[in-house]
Amino acid sequence: MDMPRPDPIVLSRKSELVARLLTVLPQDAVIEDEMETRAYECDALTAYKCPPLLAVLPRSTAEVSDVLRICYDMNVPVVPRGSGTSLAGGALPTADCVILGVARMNDVLETDYTNRVIRVQSGRTNLSVSGAVAEEDFFYAPDPSSQLACAIAGNIAMNSGGAHCLKYGVTTNNLLGVTMVMMDGEIVEIGGAHLDSGGLDLLGIICGSEGQLGVVTEATLRILHKPEGARPVLVGFDSNEVAGACVSDIIQAGVLPVAIEFMDRRVTEVVENYAHAGYPLCEAVLIIEVEGSEAEIDAQLALIREIAERHNPIEFREAKDADEASRIWLGRKSAFGAMGQINDYMCLDGTIPVSSLPMVLRRIGELSKESGLEVGNVFHAGDGNMHPLILFDANKDGDLELCEAMGAEILKLCVEAGGCLTGEHGVGIEKRDLMGYQYKPADLDAQMAVKDIFDPKWLLNPAKVFPLDVSDAKRSAQIAAE
Amino acid sequence: MEPTSEAELADLISSAKAPLCIRGGGTRLLGPIEGEVLETSGLQGISLYESGALTMVAGAGTTLDEIGAALKAENQRLAFEPPDLRDVLGTTGASTIGGVAASNASGSRRISVGACRDFMLGVRFVDGAGIVAKNGGRVMKNVTGYDLVKLMSGAFGTLGVLSEVSLKVMPKVEMQLCLRIEGLNAKQAVAAMSAALGSPFEVSGAAQALDGAVVLRLEGFDASVRYRADKLTQVLAGFGTVEMLDDQAQCDTLWRDIRDARGFTGSTGDLWRVSVKPSDAPELIDTLGAHAVLLDWGGGLMWVDMPKRADLRARMSVPGHATLMRSDDKGFEQVARFHPEAAPLAKISAELRARFDPKGILNPGLMGDVA
């Protein structure tokens, strides 16, 4: 993966930068030691590593503003970082950048049950937002798999989803306002506890902009009362296509499960060996969860059973109690860890129209045979967000490149099927050079026009989202023009 | 001008040298806009509808009637229930999906399922230089690049003229029930609505109608709706007598009237639409000196009938956003239609408009300055 050539001027001014940063931050908030900056050399896309020039850990919006003003003045690139759980390299440093970590900003600023909102600092972890309102039986709905670790800042940057977003939507549907610091240090308030603002939907463009438009330091989030109960069922099929058809029929019937998850035979086998969840060994396993009171759950599951039975499932297992429910989820929730136990893998994130599921799965199987690399499929079937896991050996020469080439083929396939490159992980560095498959130059120009306005010097989170040659040229040109 | 293809639309905009008044069906106009009228009604037709994938793609000029008919045949609907503002704004014509998208027109279900912008999966548009671009696509989850779909939704054509919209559609529900409580003041009404919306019983509409009654809507499968109605009645017992309405046509009419703010049809004042934190609404009502107020979205959306020329914004004692929806020409001249933004946001918005509309010809003056 190519990254921009570090700016020699920035590198040469490191001690000046440190000195200036120490005028606005306490000593313990500026990390310059090479051993310590190494902790920030990568995110969860561990195939790529690059220690930053420095890392800073501010504690307030005002400190973030001071840091950005200095970096802006000295033309230093800034890579914002939540918890570093990005699977797309969204927080990968450049050698000449300052990592701006928001991990120390994790306070709850306000909980308001009357208006059903919570305001938090953006370094707070996703799960601990729900934790902060659990005493009143409320929760924050978006639930990425990394929710124990991932920060709201990263959720906003990537517009994160999760297993339950089929019903509750993704981050952008649950975000009401932000406090954001612009690259030049200006602090802006966008949105708030009210639902819609007049004027342009700036909040909508910030969510999912991968930390390239500003650094979000505080967020107002929608919270909801927990449902009375929830119950999963597991349905096994002897063909992917039939499982896909069953998903489509359930959605069309008007039942709205909170989650429909899919695992193929390869993943089921691995998971079973790892977690012993008692899954049937068959071509496709669906986990479907519904919510409500006992009676409502019974009624919805009866309908789902009726639809599933039209497709001759080899098994339909309804959780009888909490223990069975957790066993049904156990396998799905351990899928990524289990696959990691047997092999290195690359996790893709393309989304396709649900109707294309059988065709895309078949074609992925063919690509797997051609390349000789195994693929396991586990994904959010209700909304067509696939997560093919390509298995490779990181210690074998050329395997990573083979894996990346195959990943690119699968993502192109998703686009051809009417879908997109990434459903919830973001573009980062991982997919930036594939953007041309989904978007024409004019489409990308329109997106980059927004970047030009928010961050004219292209200093925020460089070398992500847009093809490297394009973004590199933008940055050089803007700084040269000064 | 009524282009019949996206290419023709691009040509017209690219060669235009004077302001254009961008229009779908012209049913949601917020007062007069200078310039030659450019209508998108020629960009017609549903090009893709996959009911099993809950997805529809349609030309911007496709009428809501046509979309509604197609959805009805598959027992589906637009969950964000776009309001029909013809009566209250005194407009005529056929509302188009492009107009709905451009104005982010969202009805009472905004509080439970989201706004129009939350159901928009993709757009194609022509910017003010005549350049065609697309963003998003037709799948439910998509974080590929920046979300210009949200930016275009609610931009009222000022960043580009929509040529195509793709939408997430939803299954129709089996039935609905309404709960009604009379005799509450605004403060009690908002408290009752907050209690209902803060319960686990999935309220899909919460309003205080012009007659003062608080109405709550429950939707879904018959057994589920009745169960939740019983539970919710217990939750609300302290607020007064809870009446249950289960006549489907009566419920439909009741929510249509709220959604479309029909009670203000023909009223003589200026009509404002104000977005606030729900618990702030009662205080605001006390300070506005309004003729009448309709509360939707649990109190978060206020439709306010104000004395003519009274600048509602000058009387706002709480944070929020006020849009002037209906006035006479003179009123629209004196008061900005959209709430002025804080300086840094106004600057960003103006720069976005200047960038996407370099000639300053797309609905100029409608939303604010151009950088």
Q: Is A35 on the interface with B (CB under 8 A)?
A: no
Last residue of a domain, one of A320, A336, A352: A336
Q: What pLDDT is attached to residue A480?
A: 77
pLDDT digits (tens, 9 = 90+) for A410-429: 999 999 999 999 999 999 99
Reduced DSSP (H G I as helix, E B as strand, rest coil) percent helix, strand, coil of chain B, to 5? 35, 25, 40
Residue B367 in domain = no
CB B259 within 8 A of CB B83: yes
Is there a contact between A199 and B134 if contact means CB atoms under 8 Å apart? no
The pLDDT, as a whole number, for residue A390 is 95
- On whether both A212 and A251 belong to a single domain, the answer is no
pLDDT tens-digit profile of B293-338?
999 999 999 999 999 999 999 999 899 999 999 999 899 988 999 9
Instruction: Give me the number of domains chain B comprises.
Output: 3
Q: Is residue B343 part of a domain?
A: no
- Asked if the model's pLDDT at residue A5 lies above 80, the reply is yes
Alpha carbons A333 and B335: distance in angstroms, whole number: 55
Name residues 248-287 of chain A within 8 A of B (Cβ). Answer: 248-249, 251-254, 256
Is A332 a member of any domain?
yes
Note whether ipTM > 0.95 here.
yes
Considering the domain architecture, whether residues B29 and B166 belong to the same structural domain is answered as yes
Same domain, B218 and B318: no
Which residues 204-223 of B have a C-beta within 8 angstroms of A?
A: 221, 223
B contacts of A113 (beta carbons < 8 Å): 198
Helix (H) or strand (E) run with residue B23 in it:
strand B20-23
Same domain, B102 and B192: no
| Residue corresponding to tokens 């509750």 | A168
- Pair B297, B234 in one domain: no
| pLDDT above 80: residue A479 | no
Q: With a cut of 90, say whether residue B30 has pLDDT above it.
A: no
Q: Would you state the pLDDT for residue B194?
A: 98
Shortest Cα–Cα distance, B53 to chain A (Å): 6
**In chain A, which residues have their Cβ closer than 8 Å to the Cβ of B134?**
439-440, 443
Is there a domain that residue B347 lies in? no
Over the stretch A434-460, which tens digit does the pLDDT of each residue have? 999 999 999 999 999 999 999 999 999
| pLDDT tens figures, B105-131 | 999 999 999 999 999 999 999 999 999
> Quick one: closest CA in A to B131, which residue?
A442
Q: Are residues B270 and B128 in the same domain?
A: no
Does residue A158 sit at the B interface (CB-CB below 8 Å)?
Answer: yes
- Taking an 8 Å cut-off on Cβ atoms, the answer to whether A296 and B223 are in contact is yes
B169: nearest CA in chain A? Answer: A252
* Cα distance between residue B236 and residue B192, in whole Å: 7
A interface test, pick of B140, B302, B367 with most A CB neighbours within 10 Å: B140
B22 with B112, same domain: the answer is yes
Token pair in block for residue A197: 């603002």
- Residue B370: the pLDDT is 65
Out of A1-10, B9-18, B30-39, B360-369, the most confident range is: B9-18
Contact A248 B137 (CB under 8 A): no
Residue B213 falls inside a structural domain: yes
Structural domains counted in chain A: 3
Contacts of B347 in chain A (CB under 8 A): none
Q: Is B352 within a domain?
A: no
Q: What is the mean pLDDT of residues B79-91?
A: 96
Q: State the nearest Cα–Cα gap between A204 and chain B, in angstroms.
A: 5
Q: What percent of chain A has pLDDT over 70?
A: 100
Residues of A in contact with B275 (CB under 8 A): 194-198
Cβ neighbours, 10 Å, residue B160: 28
Kindly report the nearest CA distance between residue B328 and chain A, in angstroms: 20
Residue range A168-198, pLDDT digits in tens: 999 999 999 999 999 999 999 999 999 888 8
Q: In this complex, do A449 and B355 lie within 8 Å of one another by their Cβ atoms?
A: yes
Domain closes at, from B234, B259, B284: B259
Contacts of B278 in chain A (CB under 8 A): 114-115
* Domain CATH number, residue A415: 3.30.70.2740
State pLDDT tens for residues A365-393.
999 999 999 999 998 888 899 999 999 99
CATH at B238: 3.30.70.1710
Same domain as B34, residue B12: yes
Restricting to A residues 93-112, those with a Cβ less than 8 Å away from any Cβ of B are 112
Looking at the fold, whether A204 and A284 belong to one and the same domain comes out as no
**One domain, residues B131 and B242:** no
- Quick: pLDDT tens for A109-167: 999 999 999 999 999 999 999 999 999 999 999 999 889 999 999 999 999 998 888 89
Looking at the domain assignment, is residue A449 inside a domain? no
Q: Which of B148, B221, B279 sits opposite A205 (nearest CB)?
A: B148
Nearest-CA distance B351 → chain A (Å): 7
Same domain for A180 and A128, yes or no, is yes
Same domain, B254 and B187: yes
CB contact under 8 A, A442 and B131: yes
End residue of a domain, out of B206, B233, B259: B259
Report the CATH number at residue B311: 3.30.70
Segments forming the whole domain that contains residue A200: 108-225
CB contact under 8 A, A186 and B344: yes
Q: Which of residues 165-194 of B touch A (CB under 8 A)?
A: 171-174, 191, 194
For the domain that residue B30 is a member of, what is the CATH number? 3.30.465.10
Of the residues B235, B259, B283, the one at which a domain ends: B259
- Residues of B (111-130) whose Cβ lies below 8 Å from A: 111, 114-115, 117-118, 127
Q: What is the DSSP letter of B224?
A: H
Q: What is the mean pLDDT of residues A401-409?
A: 94
A2 falls within a domain: no
Is B27 in the same domain as B167?
A: yes
**Do A374 and A419 have their domain in common?**
yes
**Residue where a domain terminates, one of A424, A450, A466:** A424
Sign for the CA dihedral angle at A130, A133, A134, A137 comes to negative
Are A351 and B355 in contact (CB < 8 Å)? no
**Nearest Cα to Cα of residue A377 among A244, A280, A201:** A244
Would residue B340 count as lying in a domain? no
Tell me the pLDDT band of A354, cut-offs 50, 70 and 90: confident
Domain shared by B247 and B269, yes or no: no
Whether B348 is covered by a domain: the verdict is no
Final residue of a domain: which of A185, A201, A225?
Answer: A225
Domain assignment present for A393? yes
Contact A201/B275, CB-based, under 8 Å? Answer: no
Q: Searching chain A, which residue's CA lies closest to the CA of residue B145?
A: A465
Domain that holds residue B195: 175-259
Q: pLDDT tens for residues A237-250? A: 999 889 988 998 89
A35 within some domain = no
Which positions in chain B touch A203 (Cβ < 8 Å)?
150
Q: Are A128 and A202 part of one and the same domain?
A: yes
CB of B277 less than 8 A from some CB of A: yes
Question: Which residue in the block uniquely carries the two structure tokens 């051809």?
Answer: A416
CA distance A13 to chain B (A): 31
CA distance A292 to A305: 17
Closest residue in A to B173 (Cα–Cα): A254
Whether residues A220 and A241 fall in one domain:
no
User: Does residue B364 sit within a domain?
Assistant: no
Note the pTM of the prediction, 2 decimals.
0.96
Inform me whether the pLDDT recorded for A223 exceeds 80.
Answer: yes
Query: B280 and B238, same structural domain?
Result: no
Chain B (300-359) residues lying within 8 Å, Cβ to Cβ, of chain A: 300-301, 319-323, 338-339, 341-342, 344-345, 348-349, 351-352, 355-356
Residues A328 and A370 in one domain: no
